[in-house]
Amino acid sequence: MPYGAGGNTSKNALGIWALVLGILSIVCCLGLLAGIPAIILGQNSKKAAAQGLATNGNLGNVGFILGIVGTVLGTIGAIYNISTRFGS
């Protein structure tokens, strides 16, 4: 690699996928289905950025946060649906 070139980007896909899944977990109401993988990929992306294997750790961080929000909203929605169907 020539001098002055950017850092290693071999794991940049982790941050991108974390962001995409985090957005899908909120927008498409895929809470747990997309939120949990977004959390996992976001964590892995942040670790890769800390090790110098990725240059987009911020995308992983945003995907991680959106994954948490989507998972929480999906869980609240599931509890609400269950309570209205089987509640008194």
pLDDT digits (tens, 9 = 90+) for 37-70: 999 999 999 999 888 888 888 899 999 999 999 9
- Cα–Cα distance measured from residue 24 to residue 63, given in angstroms and rounded to the nearest whole number: 10
Residue 34, token pair as written in the block: 């997309």
User: In this structure, is residue 7 part of a structural domain?
Assistant: no
Tally of domains in the chain: 1
Mean pLDDT of 14-18: 90
* pLDDT for position 13: 85
User: In this structure, is residue 53 part of a structural domain?
Assistant: yes
pTM greater than 0.85 (yes/no): no
User: In this structure, is residue 24 part of a structural domain?
Assistant: yes
Domain span at residue 69? 12-86
Helices (H), the chain: 12-27, 31-50, 57-86
18-48: b (≥16 Cβ within 10 Å) or e: bbbbbbbbbeeebbeebbbbbbbbbbbbbeb
- Cα–Cα distance measured from residue 46 to residue 60, given in angstroms and rounded to the nearest whole number: 6
* pLDDT for position 4: 44
